Amino acid sequence: MSDETQNPLRDAIEDAIRTNPVILFMKGTPEQPMCGFSARTAGALQALEAPFAAVDVLPDPRIRQELSALSNWPTIPQLFVNGELVGGCDIVTEMYESGELAQLLGVEQPDEAPQPAGAEAQAAPLSIENRLG
Amino acid sequence: MTTSIATKEELKARIEAGIPGASAEVHGDDGHHFEAVVVSPAFAGLSRIAQHRLVYDVFDGELGGRIHALALQTKAE
């Protein structure tokens, strides 16, 4: 807490964490993630159909610098729920698989095997009817 | 410590030296991406965040840089 008080970027990050109940700082966007870890983390939230805010840290390296200084967490992605750091990809994935993430977010854990991405593929409805006569 | 390519042996040794009672199993051969399972009684009662921070602290400033990625799993026992 020295001369860091005059730091509009850090203030903006703090404000975003405070005002968004679920916020993910990631590389890229949920639609177009630019890193496998960010993709997996966003995918877990999407699989739970939990609404979340997402911030792309790539456009300005200072976002990442300030965020890590603020959270004392070195890597991206970072998920915050109700103003608190939950974790990065490893922790979020572990919590998704155990059902803790759904619990924390107050949503239903999907019945399907917990596979954040790609699990829907085989659920495509069969459109061919079996007509034997 | 060193600017050379990181190895899983180095990571294992540093984690085990840096965290009381820790034993680490580290995988990764490309010099940048690693996976570690760390077991230590020091993790007991800590949140996952706090457990992972203990390991990150061992590599202060090197994660995201020299060590591009360290996928972590931590257990108290």
pLDDT tens-digit readout, B50-74: 999 999 999 987 887 888 889 999 9
Pick the CATH number of B8-75 from 3.30.300.90, 1.10.10.1100, 1.10.150.120, 3.90.1150.10: 3.30.300.90
Q: Are A108 and A85 in contact (CB under 8 A)?
A: no
Q: Which has the closest alpha carbon to B26: B16, B40, B11?
A: B11
- What is the C-alpha to C-alpha distance for residues B74 and A81, in angstroms, rounded to an integer? 21
Lowest mean pLDDT among A8-12, A46-50, A120-124: A120-124
Chain A: closest CA distance from residue B49 (Å): 6
Q: Are A40 and B30 in contact (CB under 8 A)?
A: no
Residues 12-71 of A with CB under 8 A from B: 37
C-alpha distances in Å from residue B54, one per residue of A91, A103, B34, B49, B60: 14, 26, 17, 9, 10
pLDDT tens-digit readout, B5-42: 899 999 999 999 999 999 999 999 999 899 999 999 99
Chain B partners within 8 Å of A87 (Cβ): 48-49, 52
Q: Is B64 exposed, middle or buried (0-12, 13-18, 19+ CB in 10 A)?
A: middle
pTM summary value: 0.79
- What is the C-alpha to C-alpha distance for residues A91 and B47, in angstroms, rounded to an integer? 10
Best of B37, B38, B47, B49 to disrupt the A interface (most A CBs within 10 Å) is B49
Q: Are A86 and A74 in contact (CB under 8 A)?
A: no
Contact across the interface for A90 and B72, Cβ inside 8 Å: yes
Chain B: closest CA distance from residue A74 (Å): 7
Amino acid at B67: I
Contact across the interface for B49 and A89, Cβ inside 8 Å: no
Q: Which has the closest alpha carbon to A114: A100, A104, A124, A128?
A: A100
In Å, how far from its chain's centre is CA B38? 7
Q: Which of B49, B63, B64 sits opposite A87 (nearest CB)?
A: B49
Q: Which residues have C-beta within 8 Å of that of residue A96, sequence separation ≥ 6?
A: A44, A47, A48, A102, A114, A116
ipTM of model over 0.85: no
Domains of chain A, each with CATH number or no CATH: 8-109 (3.40.30.10)
Q: Which of A37, A74, A85 sits opposite B49 (nearest CB)?
A: A85
Q: Which of A74, A76, A91 sits opposite B48 (nearest CB)?
A: A91
Q: Is A87 on the interface with B (CB under 8 A)?
A: yes
